Amino acid sequence: MDANQSPDPLPTDQPTESPQIPPQPQRVSERRSQPPTASVRSDSSSRPATTDTIQPMRTSRSKSSRDSYRTNQPRSHASFDRARIPLHLARAVTLAALVYTCWRFGGTDAITIQHTSILVLIAIVLTIVSRKCLQPITASAVMILVLGSSWLAFSAVQCVPMPRSLVSAISAGVLDDTTQFADVAIAELTSFTDKHESKSLGAETYDSPNPAADTSLQRPLTLSLVPAATQKRLALHSIALALFLLAALLFPGRHSRKILAWTLVLNAVSLGFWAILQRASGTTELLIGFSRDEVILPFATFIYKNAGAAAVIPGLAAAIGMLWVALMKHHDQFGGRRRQGRRNPATSFSNSGVSRSQSFYNSAPLWTRPGIVVLVLLISLLTAALLISASRGALAATGLSLLLIPVLIPLKLPVRSYAVLASVLFLISLSAIVAGKLHPTLQAETDRLDRDAISTDGRWTHYQEAGRTAAKFFPFGSGGGTYGYAHLDQQVENTSEWFREAHQQFLETLVEYGLPGITIALITIVLLVRHTYQLARRGYSYDRRGWGIAGLIALFSIAIQSTVDFIILIPGVLFSHVLLAGSVSGVEQDVSNAQPHKTRVPNARVDGDKPAAASSQHGTNPHLAATGMFAKATSLFRHPMTWAAPMLGIVLFAFVVFRQETICNSAIEETNTLIVDYQPTAEEVSRNERLLDEAIRIRPQRADLYHRRAVWRTVKFRLALLEHGKEQGHSIDWQATYPETFSHALHLLPPESANEIVSEIHSAPKLANHLVDIANDLKQSIVHNPLNPQVYLAAAFFAPQMQTDEKRWLEVLVPLSKSSRPIQFANGFLAYYQGDKPTLLDQWNGALFLNDDYLEAIMMRAETILTPREIAEQLVPARRSEVALTILRRSKRVGASSKFLTELCDFGCQRIEQDPSLTAAEISSLCAQSHETIDQYEIAGNHWKQAVRNDGLNSQYRLHYTRALIETGDLDEALKQASLGKASEPSNRQFHDLIDAIQKRLKDDFEQQIMKSKL
């Protein structure tokens, strides 16, 4: 509702019983009488005398009437301002929370959200203090608050432990993953800890006060795979819902909406301007005082450039809405457009003349209106910032939203406004040119929109994996914030990176929250669209319609962009859109259609023998009773304190969660993973272990804390191993005690020697106790996150020392490792020691999927058990056929046999020819280089000839072809090809040198032939 609405009727306007005036008979009419409309007439002499109709003033009032009278009595300006101070402070604190979140890395770190939750708590308290100044919440906002509360309640249910039988019935996917991965690993580790637990009772260890979670196979489960991640997401959404409530309560009026709109615009302009500076200057600063070593992308304050572009869109939408309002008001004021209304014949002539004269003398072009000029400049800068971001999703979403608005809503812009739009386009282009370094980036992003590029984009394959994951965890999802792990075992192909998010928000919602979550999300979007559309189309004023237009632009943009990205999960983006949506929902759609409040008038002719109280009741009519109850319930839900008081507790819960997250993140950062060559002291190990113990005590649900503590207990085990070796008179190198290196060493030793070393470790109570502590930490980490391959890999490296079944670890690791090259490389070694050739080929093929970092180490083992055909056909990745050439060159360098090299070359060429990602010229080039490697120049020359024929403009192909001809002795053809290369690329000196060498050789051959002929 507008802030400057008309006051409520005074209590004296309500009909009450007066003892001085007897009831008058009323005229009976079939037509309802309308309330009289107040009017002012110039001819007051024709009006009847007022003394005949004046009613005496009331001399008594009820208590409710007196309270209402005092409430509605006009107060002094000073007292009114003092009463609204907490309300203004609440608005300022809310806006400060938004700006702080946006500018501190988009709220992606826990400490930022912790500080934001404090600001939100302060804003809620100030709102409760100023409750008398608040208006009732609109019905649309109430519905969204109910849906948001349902979302939070379902998220909380996902974190509640349940019996396995119940989880099996309602979420079979969670039980399947637990049985397939976690239970297998826990059983293996438990077989070791149960055997050596007694030795740890008398050992000298740091006694951890943290209670251990149940690791038995019959332990309760939750609907969430990772409860800690779900709690964190729940806390973030709690703050977002609180901001929605604050926006609906604090920014429903015209003036407050304007404050919010300008805050969104100026915040977005500041972000956009800083993004332009980042792009233009190549700065390494994230913010003033925060820098990186490498040149960063624009919107680096959000870590993710697409999210930064999405955070600008609410400000752009608000600016466009305000520009539309300014254009319409300018047209109404100076364009001769009048509102419809009654014409007063007494004053119509004079008023018309004044209006025309004012319109003539006060009319001015749009360019002289400062507000319009400023908005045009700001919109231009924001659009340039979107272009600078080079975010395909943000650009497409904004463009489609701006196209949809004129289709759905008649904007009715005046003709002169098109000049403003044209100037906007001109300024956008000018801003893009001034920004610099823009064209190459946009060209690269445009190339990425090519159909072939999109078809090979990993997202399409990833969407299919997300669909399979959603079906697996249907209908209640895998838990909020768990997508990064939930989809791992559904991957079919190797991916270039780990998809922590789905890059499709609706799919991710379906995976994590199942059917209840996606239903709540879609209903919320529909309600927001419906309310915003009606506000934009039939709003009571231009201000409300413009606010509705801004809301529609932002809503359409975020919905469209969410179909290809996960930007709404970035807190800065989420809070910006939530504040705008809350303010739009808090505005009544059309108060002009609202009926005035009608109070039932007591019938004066009531039977005297009936008590007055009986006439005020609904009696036995059930419909009237139900209507009254519904009205009371509606009034209760629309009361601000119904939502503000509980929201205080919800945000307090969010503060506690993020406070714990901040402490745990600090512990993780301080106990960062060690460098392999660094040997810490025992004091450093104890200090880090105590830090992690304290973090686990504060937040025992976090799996990564147990994993990190297992890392430092591994360091303690290594130090103890060095001390034990020193006592036995052995000198052990520090790097040799690294778990992976130690595991490889045990596998390479004869079985008798390896078993002797392991038995000696188990016989030492101190060493055995450290292994038990490591196993217990790994079990706890697996309980709280059953799909983390890093933990399983750490346990697999300890399999020789703990004497667990390595094949079981390999069965667990392989399905979860398609997004990690290091883990696939390690899996290949585990398969190598087990003699599992198919798994070895599959895992090492994935390890070579992106680069050749592990090629040397892989080939040292692969050449001992793989044939040239297996290497060429199964070890070489499908879309990296050039790896076959690299392997061939490496094999020749290490002195492989000629037979091995010939077979490897032949099978490698066959694999290259089957690669669909290569052109015909590239295939010929790789085959030619392969044959050149093993000195088959004649075959290589034929391939180079084919490459030149397929791509004659490539000078390198012609250069290699010329050299192959020289090696085979065809100097005439070589001279011809060198001359063609020189003509096509005169600046290439290599062709000049080849021509000179060929001519010299031809001259020598000619002289030798003459000498032979003379002899």
pLDDT one-digit tens code per residue, 828-839: 999 999 999 999
Q: Looking up tokens 């005074």, which residue turns up?
A: 10
Name residue 608's amino acid. Answer: G
Which of 781, 783, 697, 772 lies closest to 208, judged by CA?
A: 697
| Residue with more model confidence, 209 or 969 | 969
Question: Residues 743-747: what's their mean pLDDT?
Answer: 92
Residue 353: pLDDT over 50 = no
Contact (Cβ atoms closer than 8 angstroms) between residue 846 and residue 817: yes
Q: What pLDDT does residue 636 have?
A: 86
CA dihedral 263, 269, 272, 277 (to 10 degrees): -130
Name residue 700's amino acid. Answer: P
Residue 157: pLDDT over 50 = yes
| Residue with more model confidence, 760 or 593 | 760
CA end-to-end span of the chain? 115
- In sign, the C-alpha dihedral spanning 678, 679, 683, 689 is positive
Which of 385, 314, 302 lies closest to 569, judged by CA?
A: 302
Range list of H helices, 803-854: 806-813, 821-834, 837-847
Q: What pLDDT does residue 654 have?
A: 97
Q: What pLDDT does residue 1014 have?
A: 72
Q: What pLDDT does residue 741 have?
A: 92
| Residue with more model confidence, 46 or 143 | 143
Helix (H, G, I), strand (E, B) or coil at 93: helix
In a domain? residue 361: no
CA 239 to chain centre: 16
| Residue with more model confidence, 189 or 625 | 189
pLDDT band of residue 1002 (cuts 50, 70, 90) is confident
Q: What pLDDT does residue 540 have?
A: 80
Q: Which residues pair with 162 in a beta bridge?
A: 221
Q: What pLDDT does residue 844 have?
A: 95
Question: Residues 748-773: what's their mean pLDDT?
Answer: 92
Which of 845, 836, 942 lies closest to 884, judged by CA?
A: 845
In a domain? residue 260: yes
Residue 259: pLDDT over 90 = yes
Contact (Cβ atoms closer than 8 angstroms) between residue 658 and residue 113: yes
Name residue 842's amino acid. Answer: D
Question: Residues 207-213: what's their mean pLDDT?
Answer: 56
Instruction: Kindly report which listed range (311-315, 411-415, 734-738) carries the lowest average pLDDT score.
Output: 411-415
Range list of H helices, 491-615: 505-538, 542-561, 571-585, 612-615
Residue 426: pLDDT over 70 = no
431-441 residue pLDDT tens:
555 544 444 44
80-89 residue pLDDT tens:
567 789 999 9
Contact (Cβ atoms closer than 8 angstroms) between residue 479 and residue 229: yes
| Residue with more model confidence, 413 or 833 | 833
Name residue 463's amino acid. Answer: Y
Q: What pLDDT does residue 212 have?
A: 64
CA distance linking residue 29 with residue 946, whole number of Å: 103
In a domain? residue 930: no
Q: How much is the mean pLDDT over the chain? A: 80
24-43 residue pLDDT tens:
444 444 444 444 444 333 33
Question: Residues 588-599: what's their mean pLDDT?
Answer: 48
Residue 888: pLDDT over 70 = yes
CA distance linking residue 823 with residue 818, whole number of Å: 9
Residue 323: pLDDT over 80 = yes
CA angle, 322 then 327 then 333, to 5°? 125
Which of 563, 561, 474 lies closest to 513, judged by CA?
A: 474
Q: What pLDDT does residue 420 have?
A: 58
Cβ within 8 Å of residue 576, ≥6 positions away? 98, 102, 264, 267, 311, 314, 315
Residue 286: pLDDT over 90 = no
What six digits make up the tokens of 745? 């060493």
628-663 residue pLDDT tens:
676 777 788 889 999 999 999 999 999 999 999 999
CA distance linking residue 179 with residue 174, whole number of Å: 9
Q: Looking up tokens 């927001």, which residue turns up?
A: 528
Share of the chain above pLDDT 70, in %: 75
Question: Residues 390-416: what's their mean pLDDT?
Answer: 80
Question: Residues 404-421: what's their mean pLDDT?
Answer: 69
In a domain? residue 598: no
CA distance linking residue 126 with residue 6, whole number of Å: 26
State the CB neighbour count (10 A cutoff) for residue 523: 14
Helix (H, G, I), strand (E, B) or coil at 290: strand
CA distance linking residue 740 with residue 730, whole number of Å: 21
Residue 76: pLDDT over 80 = no
Q: What pLDDT does residue 427 have?
A: 58
pLDDT band of residue 279 (cuts 50, 70, 90) is low
pLDDT band of residue 623 (cuts 50, 70, 90) is low
Domain boundary among 532, 565, 590: 590
CA angle, 142 then 229 then 688, to 5°? 140
Q: What pLDDT does residue 890 have?
A: 92
Residue 149: pLDDT over 70 = yes
Whether the bond between 209 and the residue before it is cis, its omega within 30 degrees of 0, is: no
Q: Looking up tokens 């308290």, which residue turns up?
A: 125
Q: What pLDDT does residue 213 have?
A: 66
903-952 residue pLDDT tens:
999 999 999 998 888 999 999 999 999 999 999 999 999 999 999 999 98
pLDDT band of residue 772 (cuts 50, 70, 90) is very high
Range list of H helices, 622-750: 622-638, 640-670, 682-698, 703-727, 739-748
Which of 752, 690, 686 lies closest to 719, judged by CA?
A: 686
Q: What pLDDT does residue 703 have?
A: 96
Annotate 387-421 with DSSP letters as a single string. Answer: HHHT-HHHHHHHHHHHHHHHHHS-----TTHHHHH
Residue 450: pLDDT over 80 = no
CA distance linking residue 710 with residue 712, whole number of Å: 5
Q: What pLDDT does residue 435 have?
A: 47
In a domain? residue 844: no
- Residue 211's region, left for phi above 0, alpha for psi from -120 to 50, else beta, is beta
pLDDT band of residue 539 (cuts 50, 70, 90) is confident
HSE-CB at 970 with a 13 A cutoff on CA atoms is 16
116 φ/ψ angles, rounded to the nearest 5 degrees: -65, -40
Which of 267, 298, 265 lies closest to 281, judged by CA?
A: 298
In a domain? residue 21: no
Question: Residues 757-769: what's their mean pLDDT?
Answer: 92
CA distance linking residue 964 with residue 976, whole number of Å: 13
Which of 170, 149, 150, 153 lies closest to 222, judged by CA?
A: 170
Residue 390: pLDDT over 80 = no
Between helix 227-250 and helix 110-129 the angle, nearest 10°, is 40
- CA distances in angstroms from 391 to 318, 575, 855, 888, listed in the order given: 20, 20, 35, 41
Instruction: Kindly report which listed range (313-317, 327-331, 417-421, 955-959) carries the lowest average pLDDT score.
Output: 417-421
Domain boundary among 555, 590, 625: 590
Q: What pLDDT does residue 538 have?
A: 82
CA distance linking residue 489 with residue 816, whole number of Å: 5
pLDDT band of residue 8 (cuts 50, 70, 90) is very low
Q: Which residues pair with 291 in a beta bridge?
A: 285
pLDDT band of residue 1015 (cuts 50, 70, 90) is low
State the CB neighbour count (10 A cutoff) for residue 184: 18
Residue 513: pLDDT over 90 = yes
Question: Residues 393-397: what's their mean pLDDT?
Answer: 87
CA distance linking residue 774 with residue 782, whole number of Å: 12
What six digits make up the tokens of 563? 């179909």
CA 904 to chain centre: 46
In a domain? residue 817: no
Q: What pLDDT does residue 410 have?
A: 75
CA distance linking residue 432 with residue 380, whole number of Å: 10
Q: What pLDDT does residue 203 have?
A: 45
State the CB neighbour count (10 A cutoff) for residue 1002: 14
Share of the chain above pLDDT 90, in %: 52
User: Whole domain around residue 442: which residue ranges?
Assistant: 86-159+226-335+366-590
Helix (H, G, I), strand (E, B) or coil at 285: strand
In a domain? residue 291: yes
| The total number of structural domains that make up the chain | 2
Domain boundary among 553, 569, 590: 590
Q: What pLDDT does residue 449 have?
A: 45
Question: Residues 772-796: what's their mean pLDDT?
Answer: 95
Contact (Cβ atoms closer than 8 angstroms) between residue 695 and residue 667: yes
pLDDT band of residue 44 (cuts 50, 70, 90) is very low
